[in-house]
A and B are shown apart, each in its own frame.
Chain A
Amino acid sequence: MAKKGLQTSDKDIINLAKIVGEKAILYKQPDLVAYDCDGFTIHKHLPKCVVFPNSTEEVAEIVKYCDANQLPFLARGAGTGLSGGAIPLNGEVIISLVKMKRLISVDLENRRAVVEPGFVNLKLTNSIANKGYYYAPDPSSQYACTIGGNVAENAGGAHCLKYGVTTNHILGLEVVMPNGEIVEISTNGVADTPGYDLLGLLTGSEGTLGIVTKITVRILKNPEAKQTVLAYFDKVADGSQAVSDIISSGIVPAALEMMDKTAIEGVEAAAFPVGHPKDIEALLLIEVDGISAGIEEQINQILEVCKKRNVREVKVAGSEEERGRWWANRKTGFGAMGAISPDYLVQDGVIPRSKLPEVLARINQISEESGLRISNIFHAGDGNLHPLVLFDARIPGETEKALEAGSACLQVCADVGGTITGEHGVGIEKREEMRFVFTDREILAQTDIREVFNPKNLLNAGKLFPSPGRCAEVKKELKEALKTS
């Protein structure tokens, strides 16, 4: 392991090490390379250093130091984010929160738990499962991603169709502001306090407004019953139509997932195959849960809808083990693309469900025009698409082509009245695409809000909004317009 004592003369590193201890700071080249990107690998940049605080106070000390010394900084969880939110674009000091991974308290009576930001999502459910409770937001990366990161990105997941995304499960936050001040929002975990909805503002702010150091979350009682259905369709259009039909029939499934042909090829070639037929165009994975009484009827209704839409085969999971295999196959879907492609770019558009057949057809067209394969694994129930653009970064020009194709997919989503991200965040990846859904003035209004919290813009600069150059221009124009009026 590493030699004792710091081997650097950089005064900032020496001073930061005084806050967290010499063992809790990384600054050597290979160690920094390991932090040059997160789950979004297209942009890479080395951080100045990585620090591992162990308490809110240490986070505050680090932030104060950075603020006083004009050092850009950002917070990082497990680094599984898909839009580049934790990439140190400006050579930031990375504040890794993985050491702050305690489950502070569980309050079953009031159905809430308090965790530190580095606590892994799935571990929360695992720690309360024996008492019959769980934490609902379940991003596919839940085996590894942290709840702090979930708050930053307002993460979703397969079961958010019925239960809502992260923001619907956050009851309170402790935040270190960009000047180092420690602030508590909804101290006692009583949400809906009067005044502006600051919890809502911070959740999904992609680490640009403050660093969350303690989180009070809502926990739910396990549903009494649960049934899972797998349906194979020869035609994508039939599968998409079935999705619409299920929702419009009044059922709110806990999850309603879809995979297309290329996606099926990927998951079947990877580590958790379940034997899906390879010649179908789409499959649906549908789960209903709730009190036992109505479940059977809902399942029958779903089976009916599928049959009406020419399903080739439809089956109900016969055991918990089978259900588990179906979900593992689905939830490892993104990583599984590695088995059929060296690189991928995942997009995250949201569309009105009724537009599904049309949008999928247009994505298919983008794939043909770009010559790149695009697979679709997504939360069909809430119209949250994940087109995965498959490419090989080693081939010159292919990365750019993939970025263009990804952007074109988002344009399609925006065109049909949807938006550019459902749960992965904007990060670096979709900054420019923000213009598909917001005017310059609207973007400016949002960066003005950021300025209230993060006036020096040292915290995670360059994320979430398009490049500031243009914003400055607009600002000037606006000012002039105001003057003349």
Chain B
Amino acid sequence: MSLREMDVKATPSCQTNSLSNYFWKDAPDENKWADCVHCGMCLEACPTYEQTGQEQHSPRGRVHLIKSVAEGKLVVDEDFADPVFVCLDCRACTTACPADVDVGGLIEEARGQVRQAMPLTGWKGTVSKTILEGVFPHQNRLHSLGSLLKFYQKSGLQKVVRKTGLINVMPKHLVEMESIMPEIGTPVQKKYKKQDVIKAKGETKHEVAMLTGCIMDVMFSDINESTINVLTRNGNDVKIPKNQTCCGALHVHAGDRETGRKLAKQNIEAFKDADTVIVNAAGCGCMLKEYPELFREEPEWHEKAEEFSKKVEDISKYLYDTGYEKPKAELNTRITYHDACHLAHGQGVREEPRDLLINIPGVEMVHMPNADRCCGSAGVYNITNPEMAGAVLESKMSNVPDDVEMISMGNPGCMLQMAVGVEKFGRNQKVVHTVQLLDWAYQKEDEKERGK
């Protein structure tokens, strides 16, 4: 071995196994793949295997490849990155797996290695730098972006862009997304800026803190508003900690675990005093619950993250568990429910939101086959892998029953994607968040009361 080669081999630190080709910190966890016996029960659960039929795009195949890098049979390169990044991170495999193999965790750890080995270049690098690192972690910039979008919609610019065909300079999948952009309102972060606590209506039974989220607060501030309404109506004082930030899910999905850790630390600090952290975005909730995963090599923060993650609860599960006032007014609508991956597979929350919905008088729930199949949104997957996301969406939409007026769900990413689906496949359903339906039922009840 020449001196030069030795130097190269010596640089990578943190190497525990001499065969391993993972040279960077936070490498995939051997104990996670040790659970996998290659039985293949995950295959049919995987949307990308359904589309391709190829092992390397299946959960079992990905785990096999991740393990093979550790065994020195493969290296972290572009050909390895492909199967690792084509994964939707939908976690359906985790539900299907008889041995509870944490495939999602392994994928994210492997992505961390890929990103450290091959930092993003070209347009993907630019997107990542400007959006993921430049916007999401900064609340003020997010709000500015929101205001910009609002201006775009309200000033008539949107109409001009759409009418003149100027919009067609964008790739097709982005045009599809633009067309369904919800009307931008005022983020609750801005609205309640001066208020420490939003008091419960009536007697205070609990005090909760709320994660407002980034996409949620900019694109869907009305859902945050509904969440606050529903919480305060049911005896909760709601706090919105000011220094909270993006949950980091998009960064971690993209392999940027360093930024993920930074954001996690800020959130753990921001919610230090809270006993319960309410989340209405499944992707964010799942990320918060998985913060300990990010700190496998930092014991002190690992402990804090463990403690923090126990406090996190999805809004539907929180209401279901703590009890809530059943609405009395009738909504008279036929709906169906889509399980957000990070709610059903990620957090095991399946029955609670359905229960909230069927307890609204006049709501008729129509079963959606394969309701817990991914819609293809998967964070920013629909922007980075439009072709696969489109195929997955098409399969999802074919399962949406014809005769329903609304599709309810618990995640903003899914809402945008499903709205694209409704538009693209000529359907006419309204896409709503579970908590909105509950809030509307309450509002209707109040109106009736007032009308008396």
Q: Are A34 and B96 in contact (CB under 8 A)?
A: no
Using A271-B100, A339-B99 as known contacts, say yes or no to A33 and B41 having CB atoms under 8 A apart. Answer: no
Quick one: given A337-B99, A339-B100, are A141 and B37 in contact (CB under 8 Å)? no
B34 interfacial contact with A, CB 8 Å: yes
Q: Is the CB of A338 within 8 A of B55?
A: no
Question: In A20-62, which residues have CB < 8 Å from any B CB?
Answer: 26, 28-31, 33-35, 37-39, 41, 50, 52
Our pick among B96, B99, B385 for the contact of A1 (Cβ within 8 Å) is B385
B169 within 8 A of A: no
Q: In whole angstroms, what is the CA distance A440 to B387 when docked? A: 56
A338 x B99 contact (CB < 8 A): yes
Residues in B whose Cβ lies below 8 Å from that of A79: 40, 55
Distance in Å: Cβ of A181 to nearest Cβ of chain B: 26
A295 interface contact, C-beta 8 A: no
How many residues of A are in contact with the other chain, CB < 8 A?
44
| CB of B56 within 8 Å of the partner chain | yes
Q: How far apart sit A338 and B39, CA to CA, in the bound complex (Å)?
A: 10
State which of A33, A101, A143, A335 has its C-beta within 8 Å of the C-beta of B99.
A335
* Beta-carbon nearest neighbor of B30 in chain A: A394
In the complex, what's the smallest C-beta–C-beta distance from B222 to chain A, in angstroms?
36
Whether a CB of chain A sits under 8 angstroms from the CB of B159 is: no
A343 CB-CB contact with B under 8 Å = yes
Query: Does B68 belong to the interface (CB within 8 Å)?
Result: yes
The residue that B65 contacts in the complex, of A30, A101, A271, A339, with Cβ under 8 A, is A30
CB-based contact A141/B44 at 8 Å: no
Residues of A within 8 A of B95 (CB): 271
A336 within 8 A of B: yes
Q: In this assembly, does A2 line the interface, its C-beta being within 8 Å of a C-beta of chain B?
A: yes
**Closest partner residue, chain B, to A40 (CB atom):** B38
| A30-B80, A34-B55 known; A143+B74 contact, CB < 8 A | no
Tell me if B36 counts as interface (CB < 8 A to partner A).
yes
Q: Contact: B99 with A98, CB < 8 Å?
A: no
> How far does the alpha carbon of A50 sit from the alpha carbon of B53 in the complex, in Å?
12
Q: A338–B36 contact, CB under 8 A?
A: yes
- Chain A residues lying within 8 Å of B65, measured Cβ to Cβ, are 30, 33-34
Q: Which residues of A contact B40 (CB under 8 A)?
A: 39, 78-80, 141, 144-145
A418 to chain B, nearest CB (A): 25
User: Does any Cβ of A come within 8 Å of B312's Cβ?
Assistant: no
A99 within 8 A of partner (CB): yes
Partner of A41, one of B34, B35, B38, B101: B38
Is A34 within 8 A of B39, CB to CB? no
Closest B-chain residue to A336, C-beta based?
A: B98
* Cβ-defined contact, A30 with B83, below 8 A: yes
Q: How far is the CB of B63 from chain A (nearest CB, A)?
A: 10
Known: A78-B40, A118-B53, A337-B99. A33 touches B68 (CB 8 A): yes
Contact of A33 among B34, B73, B96, B98 (CB under 8 A): B73
Give min CB distance, A84 to chain B, whole Å. Answer: 11
Known: A79-B40, A144-B43. Contact between A339 and B56, CB under 8 A? no
Contacting residues, chain B, for A33 (C-beta < 8 A): 56, 64-65, 68, 73-74
For B73, the chain A residues whose CB sits under 8 A away are 33
Complex alpha-carbon distance, A270 and B39, angstroms: 14
The residue of chain A having its C-beta at the shortest distance from the C-beta of B69 within the complex is: A30
> B98, A338: Cβ atoms under 8 Å?
yes
- Complex Cα distance A99/B56, Å? 15
Are A2 and B98 also in contact (CB < 8 A) when A26-B56, A80-B39, A99-B53 are? no
Q: Are B98 and A1 in contact (CB under 8 A)?
A: no
Partner of A35 from B55, B86, B385 at Cβ < 8 Å: B55
Q: Is the CB of A342 within 8 A of B35?
A: yes
Are A31 and B37 in contact, with the CB atoms below 8 A?
Answer: no
Neighbouring B residues of A338 by C-beta, 8 Å: 34-37, 39, 98-99, 101
- Which of A28, A31, A38 is most buried by chain B, counting CB atoms within 10 A of its CB? A31
In the complex, which residue of chain A has the Cβ closest to the Cβ of B97? A271
- Is B431 interfacial (CB 8 A cutoff)? no
Interface string of A66-81 (1 = CB under 8 A from B): 0000000000001110
Q: Name the B residues within 8 Å of A28 (CB-CB).
A: 79
Q: Known contacts being A2-B82, A33-B73, A144-B43, is A335 close to B56, with CB within 8 Å? A: no
Let me know if B82 and A1 touch, CB within 8 A. yes
| A339 and chain B: residue at smallest CB distance | B99
Within 8 A of A (CB), among B32-64: 34-44, 53-56, 58, 61, 64
Bound together, the chains give a CA A57 to CA B90 distance in angstroms of 36
Query: Is there a chain A Cβ closer than 8 Å to B388's Cβ?
Result: yes
For A342, what are the chain B residues with a Cβ–Cβ distance below 8 Å?
Answer: 34-35
The residue that A39 contacts in the complex, of B38, B53, B56, B58, with Cβ under 8 A, is B38
B98 CB contacts on chain A under 8 angstroms = 270-272, 332-336, 338-339
A32: nearest residue on chain B (CB-CB)?
B56
A334–B36 Cα distance when bound, in Å, is 11
Q: With A39-B39, A78-B43, A337-B37 known to touch, is A34 a contact of B56 (CB < 8 Å)? A: yes
B54 contacts A31, C-beta separation under 8 Å:
yes
B29 shortest CB reach to chain A, Å: 13
A247 to B305, CA, bound (A): 56
Cβ of A465 under 8 Å from chain B:
no
- From A333, which residue of chain B is reached at the shortest CB distance? B98
In chain A between 285 and 340, which residues have their CB closer than 8 angstroms to a CB of chain B? 332-339
Instruction: Enumerate chain A residues within 8 angstroms of B53, measured Cβ to Cβ.
Output: 52, 96, 98-99, 101, 118
The answer to whether B99 and A144 touch across the interface, beta carbons within 8 angstroms, is no
Tell me which residues across on chain B come within 8 A of A118, comparing CB atoms: 53
Tell which of A1, A26, A333 touches B86, judged by Cβ atoms closer than 8 Å: A1
Q: Tell me the complex Cα distance, A18–B282, Å.
A: 45
Q: Which of B38, B96, B388 contacts A143 (CB 8 A)?
A: B96
**Restricting to A372-427, which residues have a CB under 8 Å from any CB of B?**
394
Flag if A334 contacts B39 (CB, 8 Å). Answer: yes
Q: Which residue of A lies closest to B37 (CB)?
A: A338
Q: Which of A141, A271, A337 has the most CB of B within 10 A?
A: A271
Residue A363 CB within 8 A of the other chain: no
**A residues within 8 A CB of B44?**
120, 143-144
Contacts of A232 in B (CB 8 A): none
Q: Please give, as numbers and ranges, the residues of chain A lying within 8 Å of B58 by CB-CB distance.
A: 34
Shortest C-beta distance, A125 to chain B (Å), equals 13
Q: In the assembled complex, how far is the CB of residue B39 from the closest CB belonging to chain A, in whole angstroms?
A: 4
Closest chain-A Cβ to B86's Cβ sits at a distance in Å of 7
Complex Cα distance, B385 from A79, in Å, reads 27
B346 CB, nearest partner CB in chain A, Å: 15
Instruction: Kindly identify, within residues 68 to 112 of chain B, every residue whose CB is under 8 Å from any CB belonging to chain A.
Output: 68, 73-74, 79-80, 82-83, 86, 95-101
A residues 343-377 near B (Cβ < 8 Å) are: 343-344
Minimum Cβ distance to chain A for residue B46 (Å): 10
A316 to B144, CA, bound (A): 63
A94 to B88, CA, bound (A): 27
Q: Are B39 and A335 in contact (CB under 8 A)?
A: yes
- Contact present for B55 and A1 (CB under 8 Å): no
Within the complex, what minimum Cβ distance (angstroms) separates A141 from chain B? 6
Asked if B41 contacts A143 (CB within 8 A), the reply is yes
Q: How far is the CA of A387 from the CA of B374 in the complex (A)?
A: 37
Minimum CB–CB distance for B354 against chain A, Å: 16
B37: contacting residue among A101, A143, A344, CB under 8 A: A344
| C-alpha spacing A28/B388, complex, angstroms | 20
B64 surroundings in chain A (CB, below 8 A): 33-34
Residues of A within 8 A of B55 (CB): 31, 34-35, 79
A30 near B79 with CB under 8 A, answer yes
Which A residue sits closest to B388, measured CB to CB?
A1
Interface centre among B37, B42, B82, B388 (most CB of A within 10 A): B37
Q: Which residues in A have their C-beta under 8 angstroms from that of B39?
A: 39, 80, 141, 334-335, 338
Nearest residue in B to A334 (C-beta to C-beta)? B39
Task: Give the chain A neighbours of B385 by CB distance below 8 A.
Answer: 1
Contact across chains for B37 and A343 when beta carbons are under 8 A apart: yes
5 contacts between A and B (CB under 8 A): A26-B54, A30-B56, A30-B83, A143-B41, A344-B37
Q: Rank and list the top 3 A-B pairs by shortest CB-CB distance, nearest first.
A: A338-B99, A335-B98, A332-B98
Q: A41-B38, A98-B53 are in contact. List 5 more A-B contacts (CB 8 A).
A: A33-B65, A41-B37, A336-B99, A338-B34, A339-B100
